Structure 1
Amino acid sequence: MIRVLIADDQALLRGSFRLLVDLTPDCTTVAEAGTGAETVALTAEHRPDVVLMDVRMPGMDGIEATRLICGDPATAATRVLILTTFDMDEYVYGALRAGASGYLLKDTPPPDLLAGIRLVAAGEAMLAPSVTRRLIGEFARRPEMPQTVARRLDGVTEREREILTLVARGLSNAEIAERLRLSLATVKTHVGRLLNKLRVRDRAQLVIVAYETGLITASRDSA
């Protein structure tokens, strides 16, 4: 059972999301929060698997709440899925760098939202297509990365770089296994090693590393 905390400053939306979650056999709502501070406190109390996090909330916003949740060892196991009306650049990058495992818009169809909850609960990344396009465009505009950033891939094997590239392009473990003709267990092992070597918490952070180090660029991503 996936335990979900719903954070949104609009009670009507919280109720709608709760109904959707609670009608899903493998999900249940453990708490609702209307502010960022309340979200942090309730996450510490209930230790949900996933927080559905709004960005704009009174006082502490969702990005700061995400940073506190993901940065606290007591709640770091909780995954945060940003669910917002806004897909502005500063929100996207701020949320992912704060530790969010996914970013969806509120016009996402209910089946896709539920799929997103399941994916981030399983350690995958969930990014709306528009968010992926923004990531590609943002890093394509950046100048060459400093050597100190590029050195972050020192110690990463050629096979791991290949898998990191496919992760950054949005492929699941199963899709990577099929593409490279590897077993699913082997792909999972490589992804786990990448998480450890690069010192990141999940696949969303791997995507950022792939772009920041120049391993993948807009031109190569479209190839």
Structure 2
Amino acid sequence: MTYAVSLKLKPETYQRFQHIHQQLNAGESESLSKALGAVLTDISCEIIEQLFGELSRSSHSLDGESEKIIQQVIQTMQKYMPWSVSFFGNERLTPMVNYLASMMYQQEGQGFVTYPVDSIVMKETLGCIEQIRQGNSACIAPAFKGFTQIIDQGVGYLIRDPKKMLKFNLVVDKTLNGVIHLTTQLGYKRLEKMGAQFDLESAEIYLNHFLGFLQHPVKPKT
């Protein structure tokens, strides 16, 4: 059984990325690193906002801490994403862009970015959610831990793997690894705290929100 997470992209963002993808593969000579950095930043921010933004501002948010962390992560993306791709010419960027393009698809005019999820982690998490729905509050923390693992798999497919493809020098690579570690840990610790503090009703609202991004079976890429 194959699971995947699918996240919507704004139409203009999806089209901008696809246009850059086409230009790179057509051998465009003018540097596209600035345009690529901008669209990758927008994609990253849209994903973060989609996953966490609305919920962080809802009445079920424990306090203002979640929104502050999300804004910190977004600001970090806005700083480092354009910087990270600015080092490279079009030829070096093309394989990475082709890889990201393979993680996208369009359905009924809506663009998505998607990544596969480990089936064991997914089944365990779904089992915890079913227990929560039956009133078992002991499963709240394990369910949030499961979603943290699912999100981290997305970070792997959409951030860490593309970064490896660019083969940064040691200094830049170390800097980016530190940035990725810091920002992900901020988010993961927040999710862990939420899992420890939420009651059944609030936990189910959050978990149902995350389930909304789950696709089974995996949608075909077009």
TM-score scaled by length of structure 1: 0.26
Higher helix share: 2
Higher relative contact order (CA 8 A, sep 6+): 2
| Structure number, greater radius of gyration | 2
